[in-house]
Amino acid sequence: MSTAVTLRGVVHRVFHSSPQFSAGLMKTAQGSFVKFRGAFCANVDDEIALLGRFVNDPKFGRQFNVERISYELPESPEGLIHYLATHKAFTGIGEATARKLVDLAPTAQGLEALLAGDIAALSQQTKIPVGVLENLSSQWQANNRENRLRTFLASFELTEHQMDVLIKASGEAVVGILRSNPYQLTEMIDGFGFKRVDQIARAMGTPKEHPGRIAAAILYALQEQLQNGHTWVSGTELVDAAASLLVLDTLDARELIQRHARLLTAR
């Protein structure tokens, strides 16, 4: 078996992409092109680091078989504050205390360096008890692999439990799912219904007219009717219910919803 290596670069092309499997072409940091495949959702222009091994596929030739993926993630100070203030392991850190630290170090990497320094001096500067900072430093290191991912997810105001569920289900590959079609989570993870996922997706800038959003709203509206004891719902009622959820700005909103409903029934 070949040695595991890490490749860094940008997704140049995608041949197939789903939460379960993706195959594509990555342009490495050195400028070469590498075919990859793995159990994650790939999107063109994603900046990624892939851990894996080169294999020779009898049909597709030399490929990089991905074992783990990580992303270059945008960070926001508010996301870092939310993460620090809501994670139960960071005892003694509320929003006000988190804000003091983030004012000094607005990124996960910067905070890690700050906590690796002189804790006593930091305590004196911020008026945060030494014990609280020592615990934070210890727990930050213990969660080191997930800190950047959780900071990214926290920027969408997810609870610690919701982040736990997402990371347990997909690991860092959840980033690709969120960027491609976050509404897939409604089918993948219990407790992530349309309204919860829609808040995340809209915060990410997912367009109101995204096909995944329209399909998810139709299915949600149908499920609500079933849960209310209805065994049949008219097309007009279903479109009305979906439209109230979607609040689309286009003049042909109803036609758009009807078209997606037909596609769903044709599956």
Q: Residue 64 maps to which CATH number?
A: 2.40.50.140
Mean pLDDT (whole number) for 97-113:
96
Q: Which of 11-25, 40-54, 169-183, 232-246 is predicted least confidently?
A: 232-246
CA–CA gap between residue 98 and residue 2 (Å, rounded): 44
Residue 192 sits in the same domain as residue 162 = yes
Tell me: pLDDT of 210 over 90: yes
Q: If you search the block for the tokens 């789903």, which residue do you land on?
A: 18
Q: Count of domains in the chain?
A: 4
CA–CA gap between residue 158 and residue 253 (Å, rounded): 30
Confidence tier at 227 by pLDDT (50, 70, 90): confident
Mean pLDDT estimate for the chain: 92
Exposure string for 52-67, b = 16+ CB within 10 A, e = fewer: beeeeeeeeeebbebe
pLDDT of residue 267: 66
Tell me: pLDDT of 133 over 90: yes
Mean pLDDT (whole number) for 24-43:
95
Residues making up the chain, counted from first to last:
267
| Burial classification of residue 217, based on how many CB atoms lie within 10 Å of its CB (0-12 exposed, 13-18 middle, 19 or more buried) | buried
Residue 15 sits in the same domain as residue 48 = yes
Mean pLDDT (whole number) for 216-220:
93
Mean pLDDT (whole number) for 111-129:
96
Residue 149 near residue 175, CB atoms below 8 Å: yes
Residue 84 sits in the same domain as residue 145 = yes
Residue 91 sits in the same domain as residue 31 = no
* Residue 51, domain extent: 5-71
Q: If you search the block for the tokens 């222009």, which residue do you land on?
A: 45
Residue 17 sits in the same domain as residue 51 = yes
Residue 200 sits in the same domain as residue 217 = no
Residue 82 sits in the same domain as residue 129 = yes
Last residue of a domain, one of 133, 149, 165: 149
Residue 62 sits in the same domain as residue 87 = no
Cβ atoms within 10 Å of 134's Cβ, excluding its own: 14
Six-digit token string for 235: 């097309």
Confidence tier at 68 by pLDDT (50, 70, 90): very high
CA–CA gap between residue 147 and residue 167 (Å, rounded): 12
pLDDT of residue 82: 95
pLDDT of residue 218: 94
